Amino acid sequence: MQEDQLPEGIPRRETGSSLDRVNPMAAGILKRNGIKSWTKPAPSLYPHQWSWDSAFIALGLAHVDNRRARDELESLFASQWATGKVPHIVFDPEAPPRSYFPDAERWNSSALSRDAPSGSHTSGLCQPPVHAIAVRRIWETSRGKEAERVERARRFLRANYPRLFSWHRYLATARDPEGSGLVTIYHPWESGTDNSPRWDDALESLEVGDLPPYTRYDLQHVADPSHRPSNEEYDRYLWLLELLKRERYDEAEIYDSHPFLVKDVLSSAILVAANEALLEIARVVEAPEEDVALIEGWISRGRAGLAEQWDPGLGLCLDRNVLTGKPLRVRTIAGFAPLIAGGLTEERLADLLEVLDSPAFAGNPDLHRPLPPSTSPDEPAFHPRSYWRGPVWPVANWLLWWSLIRAGEASRAAQIRRETLAQLAESGFAEYFEPFTGEPLGSLEQSWTAAIALDMLAVESKSN
């Protein structure tokens, strides 16, 4: 890209870090974090394959290496459970020992559940379903190319449509026995926003029982361990894991007895958007009409479920504790879930945009850049350096940017894109950023940060 073509607001001559280097730098990170046919989320902090990371990675790779993008998702789906669940971690047997905990042994999923894959070791949880959105991107980036490439992409869609369909059906049934349109999660790790204050209330009453001893390896890979979730949080995470193991990861048993059952609005909204992508994929592969009708039903049920969770006082959507029936009233980026799900009335869209622009989020005057912190700085639980309790996450910026484009809010989308890319050009491809200083935190070569940059760069003309 020529310098005179740079979008407004992008630093033009920053030594070694200007926007024209973002693309090769991002591609380089994905190459270096690549292992065989898939990509680690980070060089040492996350040495295995993570589910929603891989979906974002495939989305970015679609623009630079379509074959690797396809391989990324194929490797993940090879470990799909018989229930349709796509596991949140697929363990690499060749990862350095004692590099990540809980490891495959601690999950012990293939020994405990007949539904777990036999050829690989996985965790027993899942993560937000971004995958169909990535598959559609692979299709979009192949269309209009030479016939052979289009045919390869079509074959990929045909091979993966049934996997995506069974994944979404799993979420719409096992994870929503109430038919509410909202996905129930069993563990904060399933939300992808692990230590977000979204879960504080539901975790508070959890009594940790007799926990087998463990050592955290995550703390050795970060500059300041206090930015990671606390030991108290980890005890709870590990205790929930023990309880899931006791139920042998059986969905019905878990639903009967588990002490953490929460309707997660962010995952639910991503599922709606992913179902829209699945609908397009279904048409390309000429899926049966019954499938199309089911997917359409999931979309409208999902939107209706989210509408039920609307809090008019906050102007945001709230998670719900299934066990108490109560909403979890805290302002986080997950509150913008209806924007991600789409199909909003003008009024609801205006409400959400007002909150997004307000001092509670991207309009806070003290921010380094006008990008929404993961938790509102106005919340007592806000912490600017602690993981999902405040820092700005580029991957969350991507979700909002992409949703704003779909909502027809091109100039707001362009601002998020411009500021996100400028932040990465300024400070590199960190996992997350301190919102007031812009300091890069967590892993400094995070794959999904690189991937969303590739996607934002490629989709520039549509949002500007």
Which residues would be at the binding site for ligand 2M8 (CB under 6 A)?
A: 41, 46, 50, 52-53, 88, 189, 192, 194, 218
Q: For ligand 2M8, which is the closer residue by CB, 382 or 387?
A: 387
Rounded distance between C-alpha atoms, residue 5 and residue 11, angstroms: 12
**CB closer to ligand 2M8, 47 vs 84:** 47
Provide, rounded to whole angstroms, the least separation between the CB of residue 395 and ligand 2M8: 8
Tell the smallest beta-carbon distance from residue 88 to ligand 2M8 (Å).
6
Nearer to ligand 2M8, 50 or 260 (CB): 50
What letter does residue 264 receive in the DSSP assignment?
E
Task: Report the Cα 439 to chain-centroid distance in Å.
Answer: 22
Helix (H), strand (E) at residue 433 = strand 432-433
CB 142 within 8 A of CB 153: yes
d(CA 164, CA 184): 18
Q: Quick one: 192 or 302, whose CB is closer to ligand 2M8? A: 192
Residue 195 CB, nearest approach to ligand 2M8 (Å): 8
Of 298 and 387, which CB lies nearer to ligand 2M8 in the complex structure? 387
Tokens for 373, please give them.
Answer: 């912190």
Do 193 and 388 form a contact (C-beta atoms < 8 A)? yes
How far, in Å, CA of 253 to CA of 275, rounded?
27
Number of helices (H), then strands (E), belonging to the chain: the values are 19, 12
Q: Among candidates 195, 323, 352, which has minimal Cα distance to 263?
A: 323
Which of 92, 431, 434, 445 does the annotation list as catalytic? 431
| Alpha-carbon torsion (219, 201, 312, 192), positive or negative | positive
- Asked if 93 and 35 touch (Cβ cutoff 8 Å), the reply is no
Nearer to ligand 2M8, 165 or 217 (CB): 217
Tokens at residue 275, please?
């179902």
Q: How far is the CB of 454 from ligand 2M8 (least distance, A)?
A: 17
Specify the residue, 51 or 113, whose C-beta has the smaller distance to ligand 2M8.
51
- And the tokens for 236? 């709870």
Q: How far is the CB of 324 from ligand 2M8 (least distance, A)?
A: 25
Separation between Cα atoms, residue 280 and residue 165, nearest integer Å: 12
Of 147, 109, 101, which is closest to residue 126 (Cα–Cα)?
109
- Taking the least distance from each CB to ligand 2M8, the nearer of 19 and 26 is 26
Q: How far is the CB of 450 from ligand 2M8 (least distance, A)?
A: 12
Give backbone dihedrals phi and psi of 459, rounded to 5 degrees, phi first.
Answer: -95, 10
Q: What string of DSSP letters covers 246-286?
A: HTTT-HHHHHHH-S--EEEHHHHHHHHHHHHHHHHHHHHTT
Q: Rg (Cα) of the chain, in Å, rounded?
A: 21
Q: Are strands 319-321 and 262-264 parallel, antiparallel or unpaired?
A: antiparallel
Distance (Å, rounded) from C-alpha 85 to C-alpha 92?
Answer: 19
The question of whether 296 is a catalytic residue gets the answer no
What's the min distance (Å) between Cβ of 210 and ligand 2M8? 23
190 in active site: no
Catalytic residue among 53, 72, 92, 194: 194
Q: How far is the CB of 290 from ligand 2M8 (least distance, A)?
A: 33
H/E stretch holding 161: helix 147-173
Copy the structure tokens of residue 415: 């601002």
233 and 239 Cβ atoms separated by less than 8 Å: no
**What share of residues in the chain are helix, strand, coil (percent, to 5)?**
50, 5, 40
Residues composing the chain = 464
Kindly tell me which of 53 and 455 has the beta carbon lying closer to ligand 2M8: 53
- CA–CA separation, 39 vs 260, rounded Å? 31
Min separation Cβ 46 and ligand 2M8, Å = 5
Q: Would you name the residues annotated as active-site residues?
A: 194, 431
